[in-house]
Amino acid sequence: MSTLDPLALKVTRPYQEDDLPAMAEIWNEIVEAGNAFPQTEPLTLEEARIFFAEQSHTAVATVGGRIRGLYILHPNNIGRCGHVANASFAVAGASRGEGIGRLLVEDCLRQAAACGFRGLQFNAVVASNKRARALYESLGFARIGMIPGGFRNKDDVYEDMYIYYHPTE
């Protein structure tokens, strides 16, 4: 008798209303760590409901039916720059290193193209976030700039942050 590896059941899908508690928990884990997201305050459930609904696309990654990560996709800027997207990714701490981040970024690139975006730009990839940087570079993102001391982490230490870009066409 063989057993099915639950990690083989990784999927991404648009989020649903009943996903919000798990999504807020994962998002807030990153915010509270203070070393990757610019936000300083966690989201309440009602704030999460509004925040995730406002995005061009919000998706979750599930493993064996449990939400283990998510991303948000939206324009990087307005008007004449609105054809370039921006995104944020969050993977539950207990699930890091399992390929969920790659699954999310690959899906995000497909969704960005489907939404009509011509490229995907990350404005603030913190230098110490080596896993994310390695992932983005392995997927063909170009590091196009660095902002010295551009990110203030939870310990009030200023870190460099990088800008990455990937065309969607």
Residues 115/85, Cβ–Cβ less than 8 Å: yes
Structure tokens at 26: 């994962």
Inter-CA distances, 162 with 40, 48, 62, 165, Å: 20, 27, 29, 10
* Residue that the structure tokens 């590896």 belong to: 5
Distance linking the first and last C-alpha atoms of the chain: 45
Report residue 8's pLDDT band, with 50, 70 and 90 as the boundaries. low
pLDDT tens digits, one per residue of 103-133: 999 999 999 999 999 999 999 999 999 999 9
Output the pLDDT for position 5: 53
| 39-81 confidence digits (pLDDT tens) | 999 999 999 999 999 999 999 999 988 999 999 999 999 999 9
CA distance 65 to 100: 13
- Residue 169, pLDDT above cutoff 90: no
- pLDDT value for 125: 98
What's the average model confidence in pLDDT over 8-25? 91
Query: pLDDT of 57-66, one tens digit each?
Result: 999 999 988 9
The structural domains of the chain, ordered by start, are 6-122 (3.40.630.30)
How far CA 113 is from CA of 23, 83, 99, 109, 169, in Å, comes to 24, 10, 22, 6, 7
